[in-house]
Structure 1
Amino acid sequence: MKIKAISLMFSIFFPVALFASTATCPLSNGINVLTTKRILTICKHGTVIRTFKVAIGNKGVGKKQAGDNKTPIGLYQLAHPRKSNQFKVFIPILYPTAQQLVAGYTGRDVGIHGPTQSSSWFSWLNNLPSSTRGCIAVGKNNHIEYVANWVKANPGAKILII
């Protein structure tokens, strides 16, 4: 009984620990995004390294065409992170895949990014569950820096968005 009470108290005061303990690693080495839970999990050898809350496309998931404001679903390669005036850091997701191109999918500039840098007044928008135009957004600069450093340290990293 005491263990359950302590566990409940811990999960209330430290919700990230709750996410980390319940997160799974369908992609055992890479980044997993569980769109229904709005979480991004970095996994290494099937073990959760770090978990972040994220925002996704404001029209949900299932991107098929440019401008649909949806986040793509599937397994993608990640490109090298780059600096961004708009988001501090932008990590390109190589969407669409060759198979998706053949199927007629269109779009570009899909990635993982940090909060909007244009004004601190609007950075709170990144914490809304569906506030992007198809990208995956973490809510804090230090979070995107962590993800970017992990991608840089793991060349050829992939992301599974489900």
Structure 2
Amino acid sequence: MKRRTFTLGAAASLALAGCSSGKFRSYRGPEVTSVVVNKGARSLYLLHHSEILEGYRVDLGFAPQGHKSAEGDGRTPEGTYLINRRNPNSDFHLSLGISYPNAQDVARARAMGKSPGGDIFIHGQPLAFRPKRPDWTAGCIAVKDREIETIYAMVRNGTPITLRA
């Protein structure tokens, strides 16, 4: 009788643990020292020095070719920036902010008489709608919700991110 009670209790505990998967995960592995986005391959990599820890397929801005030059152009920036903020209440599940625009981005946009834009993030899927095509963001890097949960846990503010063509 005691064995059966223990087995049922253990099974119930495991079932409840499986149901309680929230969006905030913990990570105790090697430090993510950089993030690399290869826009052409639609890939994002989390690295510990030269070792790839994780890789993901991504969606980009709706006009993915070229560097972001102005607000509303639909492009994802290219260059090296920093992860500079976290949004646990994002309209896109969770999100990590990218330090775009830098001084060069601002100068380039002003020379064209435009705003460089901003609010570029790595984020999950939208809460309000489901994208019907790839490369649907306004310039951000989008991954699946389960993937942003892992990325959010692994990547710290101040981590460099390089976005390549």
Bucket of the pairwise TM-score, normalised by the shorter protein: 0.7 to 0.9
The yes-or-no answer on 1:71 pairing with 2:76 is: yes
What SS is found at the alignment partner of 1:87? coil
- Aligned AA for 2:70? Q
Q: What are the equivalent positions in structure 2 for 1:13-162 lying under 5 Å apart?
A: 29-60=33-64, 61-104=66-109, 106-119=116-129, 122=130, 125=131, 128-138=133-143, 140-152=144-156, 155-162=157-164
Structure 1, unpaired ranges of 5+: 1-27
Runs of at least 5 residues in structure 2 that lack an aligned partner in the other structure: 1-31, 111-115
**How far apart are the structure 2 equivalents of 1:104 and 1:57?**
18
CA RMSD of aligned residues (A): 1.8
Paired amino acid for 2:41: K
Higher relative contact order (CA 8 A, sep 6+): 2
Change (3 A) 1:112 1:85: closer
- Percent sequence identity is 29
Deviations 1:112-147 (A, max 9, x none): 10011125xx1xx28x43111100000x21200111
State the number of aligned residues. 127
TM-score in terms of structure 1 length: 0.72
Instruction: List structure 1 segments (4+ residues) > 6 angstroms apart after TM superposition.
Output: none
Which structure: larger Rg? 2
Equivalent in the alignment of 1:7 = none
Task: Report Cα offsets for 1:10-67 as digits up to 9, x if no partner.
Answer: xxxxxxxxxxxxxxxxxx9311000011010001120000001000011113101011
Q: Using the alignment, how far apart are the partners of 2:83 and 2:90 within structure 1?
A: 20
Q: Going by fraction, where is helix more abundant, 1 or 2?
A: 1
